[in-house]
Amino acid sequence: MRIRPIIPGDRSRIHEIVTATGNFSDHEIATAMELVDEALDKGEQSGYIVIVAEMPGDPVPVEGYACYGPTPLTEGVFDLYWIAVHPDAQGHGIGRRLVEYVENDIRSRSGRMLLIETSSRDEYGPTIAFYKRTNYDLSARIKNFYRVGDDKLIFSKELK
């Protein structure tokens, strides 16, 4: 597996990946793609860094992606905005490798903390378990944030 920066030809596959997860609404998918478009158009000046995980030699090599960037008005804090692995490729360590890459890149930029927000809905159970397995702490829970019964969970990790 190789992790690399996004190129324009990755856009349609990222859309497929985000859609295939089944977790995101049409509005959320559109938002994810807006960030991808910003990164493709403006590079890191957009405030977003987008990377893909590819399996060289596969007919459809890109199996996952992540989008992250510095948190405005902070010193050394970054947000992981999106991370997704195609359902057919989940369970093979791709998500873990993407997170490790993101953490190492943030460290190389003198970053000190990574924040991740997600939903508390039942279908996010595997996502929440993934963040816990990768040593993220549940730092905050905002009740009924997205809608009644859907809390905002904020995970964090100090990067040393």
CATH topology of domain 2-158: Aminopeptidase (3.40.630)
C-alpha–C-alpha distance, residues 74 and 149, integer Å: 30
CA-closest candidate to residue 94, choices 51, 57, 136? 51
Residues 6+ apart with CB under 8 A from 129: none
What's the pLDDT band for 146 if we cut at 50, 70, 90?
A: very high
Residues in the chain: 160
Q: What 8-state DSSP symbol labels residue 86?
A: -
Q: Write the pLDDT tens digit of every residue in 82-114.
A: 999 999 999 999 999 999 999 999 999 999 999
Helix (H, G, I), strand (E, B) or coil at 102: helix
Q: Write the pLDDT tens digit of every residue in 24-83.
A: 999 999 999 999 999 999 999 999 999 999 988 777 789 999 999 999 999 999 999 999
Ranges of each domain in the chain = 2-158
C-alpha–C-alpha distance, residues 149 and 67, integer Å: 27
CA-closest candidate to residue 6, choices 53, 45, 57, 60? 53
CA-closest candidate to residue 40, choices 22, 79, 63, 13? 13
